Chains A and B, each alone.
Chain A
Amino acid sequence: MTTANHLEPYIQLSGISKAYAIGGETVPIFSSLDLKIPSGDFVAIMGPSGSGKSTLLNMLAGIDRPDAGCLRIGSSRLDQMGEAARASWRAHCMGIVFQFYNLLPMLTVAENVELPLLLKSLSARDRRGRVEKVLELVGLADRARQYPVSMSGGQQQRVGIARAIVADPALLLCDEPTGDLDRKSADEVLAMLRMLNREFGKTIVMVTHDPQAALHANRTLHLDKGAFIEERRAA
């Protein structure tokens, strides 16, 4: 099922090392991590707590930088880019879904979804059009004027997904997107991610603790002790 192009991986990490100074001691998280993810793939990343899943996702999001190694996404060398360039890259090339949704409480659903579009040069009309389209896609068109507090976790996470895809990025990063949801809401959210992967060709990297959630991905990578073990399945 994967349309993987193994010659030109979309995401390529090679020789990545990252360590944190904890109490005067440097604790290595990765020492020489390699990873290739082709365009259009849907990868689940699992692993014990503290194994560095969020750290990896932060690096893929251009939030954190590796201490050494090459980190390339598309044609961008994130390891070599400065703070401002990475901010701009995030605005245009990547969408992110958080475990706790992280919607802004004083904004309506539509306004929350519109946020990333404020960073693009689009007319107010174009922005409204796009917001309507993605809210339609996540099934919340009739909730546009509500505030997030009035919604269930599953609905809020769908708003989070709408916000992540509204600027039409090629890459979606999700850190435990179903970690805070009941089974039914989680399945809806996962079905939505799979649809975005299959029908819209989004490359998705999803960190999860939930083996059932991982089943929705094309493949699962287990991160442990600074290295990946791949679990392959027939799609």
Chain B
Amino acid sequence: MTLFDLARKNAWRKPLRTALLMLCVSVAFLIYGLTASFVSGSQGTSAASDDILGVMSAAGRAQPLPMAHMNRIAADPDVAAINYTSRMRGFVAVEKNVVAVSALDPQRLMAVSGKELGLTPELIDALAAQRDRVLVGRALAEAQGWRVGQSVTVTGFDMARRGGSRDWSFGIAGIFEGENASTDTYFMIADYDYLNAARARNRDTVDAFVVRPQASASAGDLAARIDKMFANSAAPTRTQSEKQFLEAFLRQYADVGLIVDLVVSAAFVTLLMIVINTMVFAVRERTFEIGVLKTLGFSGAQVMGLILAETLFIVVVGGGVGLGLAKLAVSFSDPALGLVFSMPVLARAVVIIVILGLATGALPAIKALRTPVIAAFRQR
């Protein structure tokens, strides 16, 4: 037996109470794990870049823009690099297995998005080697269980081929990792020319231009200049950073980040009070025993340590179970939800577990410290 065993046995003296406490903690961490995965996943905007600008039609993001816009945008001295893209949404095998394909110019890809998507010259070469190749993002590849060399067929929701079929076959040329764990990699990159040449409608148009400004330039000013350039044209534009775009998109529904923070904080504050209250009771119940331990020679610090270890034990087990369930739920969730149980999510959870364990244990531990040793010999 060790002091930790003693703390553990203390925790299990009332198995139902301890199990319920652990359940509370695990539910709180399940909520945390899911919401944090949501924020860190592709739906989140935290990883979205502020540097890269997207130029879309002012009439709506589904409206095409003429390719002719490109040269005029590229002529602005603040534009370092530019690419054009058409996005196809479709599904693989079953209709609810939604995937997105960004058709881009492979030659322009590296300069514009290389850093954010974690691209390498080898990946670009692999993509360009044949027209029907795609690069698949790590998140998408893992969710679908895809490997390099395999071929996949995407059925476009809107984008049909000449001849009427909506099935597009691609060979997977490589997998890109994204700049970091929270980069959205739940999509694939195809060759614009391949889609453009084969599609039935909107040929030679793009859904957006992707612009990387010069490092010294103000992205905001550049965006305003681009929109002004086309304000009176047949196809006016709306230029936003990727981050602005995603935020605006999500805010259509609600301020997701704020809601997530509120839900998670409410869950943790409630949890904190439940655990503190229960542990203070547990310590009060054991006043006499704590007196006995002190009589045997346990110091105030050791008795405090025992109570802290006991709460930590409950919070660590509960938190571990909750995070495990969250991880499980994320891996079985619909990939289109874009949940990512990333390392930062886990690391933050571990920090919260430790802080929560110490915070909830502190008050009961101080109560134990103050339990007079003399009580051991008196009343019974």
- The residues of A with any CB-CB pair to B shorter than 8 Å are 54, 57-58, 61, 63-64, 83-84, 87-92, 94, 96, 98-100, 102, 104-107, 111, 114-116, 118-119, 124, 127, 163, 175
> Considering the chains assembled together, what is the distance between the CA atoms of A124 and B5 in angstroms?
12
Given A57-B377, A96-B295, 7 further pairs, Cβ under 8 A: A87-B298, A91-B297, A100-B380, A106-B13, A111-B9, A124-B2, A163-B296
* B296 A107 Cβ-Cβ under 8 A: no
- Bound CA span A98–B288, Å: 13
Q: Does B327 contact A (CB under 8 A)?
A: no
B129 at the interface (CB under 8 A from A): no
Q: Which of B273-320 contact A (CB under 8 A)?
A: 288-289, 292-302
Bound CA span A99–B376, Å:
11
Q: Chain B: which residue is nearest A167 at the CB level?
A: B297
Inter-subunit contact B374/A64 (CB<8 Å) = yes
For residue B216, give the distance in angstroms from its CB to the closest CB of chain A.
64
> Once the chains bind, are B289 and A104 in contact (CB under 8 Å)?
yes
Are B374 and A88 in contact (CB-based, < 8 A)?
no
* Majority secondary structure of chain B interface residues (helix, strand, loop or mixed): helix
Q: Are B297 and A116 in contact (CB under 8 A)?
A: yes
In the complex, the answer to whether A84 meets B297 with C-beta atoms within 8 Å is no
Q: Is the CB of A106 within 8 A of B295?
A: no
- Bound together, the chains give a CA A99 to CA B380 distance in angstroms of 10
Contact partners of B27 in chain A: CB under 8 A: none
The answer to whether A58 and B374 touch across the interface, beta carbons within 8 angstroms, is yes
Among A54, A57, A96, A124, the residue within 8 A (CB) of B296 is: A96
In the complex, the 9 A-B pairs of residues with the closest C-beta atoms, listed nearest first: A91-B297, A90-B297, A87-B299, A102-B292, A106-B13, A106-B9, A111-B1, A63-B373, A119-B297
Report the separation of the CA atoms of residues A96 and B293 in the bound assembly, to the nearest whole angstrom.
11
Chain B contacts with A in 339-380, Cβ cutoff 8 A: 373-374, 376-378, 380
A106 touches B10 (CB 8 A): yes
Query: Which residues on the A side are within 8 Å of B296 (C-beta)?
Result: 90-91, 96, 115-116, 119, 163
Return A111 CB to nearest CB of chain B, in Å: 5
| Complex CA–CA separation, A84 to B304 (angstroms) | 13
B157 within 8 Å of A (CB atoms): no
Whether B12 sits at the interface, judged by CB under 8 Å, is: yes
The answer to whether B298 touches A119, judged by C-beta atoms less than 8 angstroms apart, is: yes
Query: Hey, what's the 0/1 contact readout for B2-46 against A, CB within 8 Å counting as 1?
Result: 110010011011000000000000000000000000000000000
A99 (CB) vs chain B CBs: closest residue: B380
Query: Measured between alpha carbons, how far is A116 from B3 in the docked complex, in Å?
Result: 11
Which residues of B are found within 8 Å of A94, using beta-carbon distances?
297
Residues of B within 8 A of A (CB): 1-3, 6, 9-10, 12-13, 288-289, 292-302, 373-374, 376-378, 380
A118 touches B3 (CB 8 A): yes
Contact A92 B299 (CB under 8 A): no
* B299:A84 contact, CB within 8 angstroms: yes
A105 cross-chain contacts in B, Cβ below 8 A: 13
A118 touches B2 (CB 8 A): yes
Contacts of B376 in A (CB 8 A): 63, 98, 102
Distance between Cα atoms of A163 and B297 in the complex (Å): 12
Q: A104-B289, A118-B2 are in contact. Are A88 and B297 (CB under 8 A)?
A: yes
* Complex contacts, A99 vs chain B, CB 8 Å: 380
Given contacts A63-B374, A64-B374, A106-B13, contact A83 B300 (CB under 8 A): yes
Question: Chain B's nearest CB lies how many Å from the CB of A107?
Answer: 6
The reply to whether A92 and B297 contact each other, CB–CB distance below 8 Å, is: yes
Docked Cα-Cα span, A48 to B120, in Å, equals: 92
Q: A63 to B3, Cβ gap below 8 A?
A: no
Interface-centre pick from B288, B295, B380 (highest chain A CB count, 10 A): B295
Contact A84 B295 (CB under 8 A): no
Cross-interface CB contact of B9 among A90, A96, A107, A175, cutoff 8 Å: A107
List 24 A-B residue pairs with CB atoms under 8 Å apart, sorted by A's residue number: A54-B377, A58-B374, A61-B295, A64-B374, A84-B301, A87-B294, A90-B295, A90-B296, A90-B297, A91-B298, A92-B297, A100-B380, A106-B9, A107-B1, A107-B6, A107-B9, A111-B1, A114-B1, A116-B297, A118-B2, A119-B296, A119-B298, A163-B296, A175-B377
- Separation of A105 and B289 alpha carbons in the complex (Å): 10
Collect the chain A residues with CB atoms within 8 Å of residue B373's CB.
Answer: 63, 87
Chain B residue contacts of A107, Cβ below 8 A: 1, 6, 9
> In the complex, A91→B292 CA distance in Å?
12
Q: Give min CB distance, B19 to chain A, whole Å.
A: 16
Q: Which of A58, A61, A87, A102 contacts B300 (CB 8 A)?
A: A87
Question: Within the assembled complex, what's the spacing in Å between the Cα atoms of A89 and B12?
Answer: 31
Distance A118 CA – B289 CA, assembled complex (angstroms):
16
Contacts of B10 in A (CB 8 A): 106
CB distance from A232 to the nearest CB of B (A): 28
Chain B residues whose CB sits within 8 angstroms of the CB of A54 once the complex forms: 377-378
CA distance A118 to B305 in the complex (A): 13
Task: Give every chain B residue within 8 A of A61 (Cβ-Cβ).
Answer: 295, 377
Across the interface, which residues of A come within 8 angstroms of B1, CB to CB? 107, 111, 114, 118, 127
Task: Please indicate the chain B residues that have their CB under 8 angstroms from the CB of A63 in the complex.
Answer: 294-295, 373-374, 376-377
Q: Could you say which residues of chain B place their CB within 8 Å of the CB of A111?
A: 1, 9
Q: Please give, as numbers and ranges, the residues of chain A lying within 8 Å of B289 by CB-CB distance.
A: 102, 104
* Minimum C-beta distance from A64 to chain B (A): 6
User: What are the residues of chain B within 8 A of A106 when measuring CB–CB?
Assistant: 9-10, 12-13
Expressed in whole angstroms, the minimum distance between the Cβ of B305 and any Cβ of chain A is: 11
Instruction: Check if B295 sits within 8 Å of A118, measured CB to CB.
Output: no
- Say which residue of B12, B292, B302, B377 sits within 8 Å of A119 (CB atoms): B302
